[in-house]
Chain A
């Protein structure tokens, strides 16, 4: 059983009203900070709260991943529900790899009922990236179908079939962008398509290559996209050159330039971790200056304890309204 301070009173289970607090932060013009929760391999809610503890005070939103890298962890809907009832601002990551359209719409309704306001709509890593590559891949929808369906549920109050919803979900809808992989010269066009489908905020893949990111943003600004969407740049500390090498060769879609890997390789072993954090801070300081960037999304896999330090050193720590 859950211990008493985490058990909500029956009233807490009524549909929580009010719009996304992440949206409020962005609308107020603040530089937003979101971070990624390491979803536990556990059936105990305490493990979620342990991982989220470092993040809550410095973040405007916390993403719960949806079987990231095609590895099974506690479901994102459950992680988000647990975070919401403890007063955190969850961002539900929803992928298309494991669910067909019926399950997707059902999970969206369920998540909204449990207090989730932010949804990041993803296609998802392929099953082959994970530790159960023999699983069936679903991909009934792609990320754009998911986005538009969530928007239809919210704005039109119907399911994709046209059937009416008694109470539609109130979502702040997001999507991912990866400016760092081919076709780099066309990635802004897919961003435009996601905005058309319903994306209100974007969280990008890890940014370690500033020139590529800058040219992506230039193209996006030329289309006026920076005024239509809140864009949070994905960042994260690298533990060592070996971690960097692993990520860029094994994690789908991660691009790390040689210069970054070399810099870590040249750093003495004891200072590598600090150097990784310094690189992350430098990147935040750079992207903060770029027009059209509204925040950062910190993905510090198994380095959650580094997130407060990164936020503080990058000068993006704000007084947070009490959660």
Chain B
């Protein structure tokens, strides 16, 4: 698997980078939106996410990044695409049921979540289903536009009670 194991095992450093990037982008985005054509911005973001997050997390470009809630470990690397893992098939050595030579991403995610600072414990949140329509779009832009946080309308009816 590509990506840097050394960095992956430092979730505290990675969450700092995430939080910093988020603040910076939220600050810059209104300006960016005014001066650059939307299609160009999308292309640049998609490309840079493919390169950076591809290297760091083996990002699958689901377009709705929840890395900071999953121990900075990409859940879309789970062959079953779980957003609320791990499944019951984890091997006794902590490896994946489907890919025996790969450590279970969800076992790693839970371990790394415990090492985190500001986002520690977020792994216990119930994550909504993946919006498959966002595949291959920019997760950063979806975050800035709020498009990544819109679960199906029936999903939230229980909280509204």
Residues of A within 8 A of B (CB): 96-97, 101, 123-126, 128-129, 137, 139-145, 148-149, 151-152, 155-156, 158-163, 176-178, 181-183, 186, 189-190, 192-193, 196-197, 205, 252-253, 255
Contact = CB atoms under 8 A, between A and B. Distances in A.
Contacts of B97: 125-126, 129, 252-253
A196 B127 CA distance: 12
Interface in B90-136: 90-94, 97-98, 104, 107, 110-111, 124, 126-130, 132
A97 B89 CA distance: 13
Nearest to B95: A182
A140 B88 CA distance: 17
**Would you list the 10 A-B pairs with minimal beta carbon distance, nearest first?**
A178-B88, A252-B89, A162-B153, A144-B84, A160-B154, A253-B88, A156-B157, A181-B90, A182-B94, A142-B82
B98 A142 contact: no
B62 to A, nearest CB: 12
Interface of B: 79-94, 97-98, 104, 107, 110-111, 124, 126-130, 132, 152-155, 157-158
A144 B126 contact: yes
Given A145-B83, A156-B157, A196-B126, A255 B88 contact: no
B154 A142 contact: no
Contacts of A205: 88
B90 A152 contact: no
A315 B93 CA distance: 37
A162 to B, nearest CB: 4
Given A152-B157, A183-B107, A142 B84 contact: yes
Contact of A140 (B86, B128, B132): B132
B79 to A, nearest CB: 6
B70 to A, nearest CB: 13
Contacts of A129: 97
Contacts of B127: 144
A158 B80 contact: no
A160 B81 CA distance: 19
8 contacts: A96-B80, A101-B129, A142-B83, A148-B158, A149-B155, A152-B155, A183-B86, A186-B110
Contacts of B92: 181-182, 255
Given A145-B128, A156-B158, A158-B154, A125 B89 contact: yes
A151 B91 CA distance: 31
Nearest to A96: B80
Contacts of B104: 182
Contacts of A142: 80-85, 87
A209 B82 CA distance: 27
Contacts of A162: 152-154, 157
Contact of A181 (B88, B130, B152, B153): B88
Given A149-B155, A151-B158, 15 more contacts: A126-B80, A126-B98, A139-B82, A142-B87, A144-B83, A145-B128, A149-B154, A152-B154, A152-B155, A156-B158, A178-B89, A181-B89, A182-B92, A183-B94, A190-B86
A139 to B, nearest CB: 5
Contacts of B155: 148-149, 152, 160
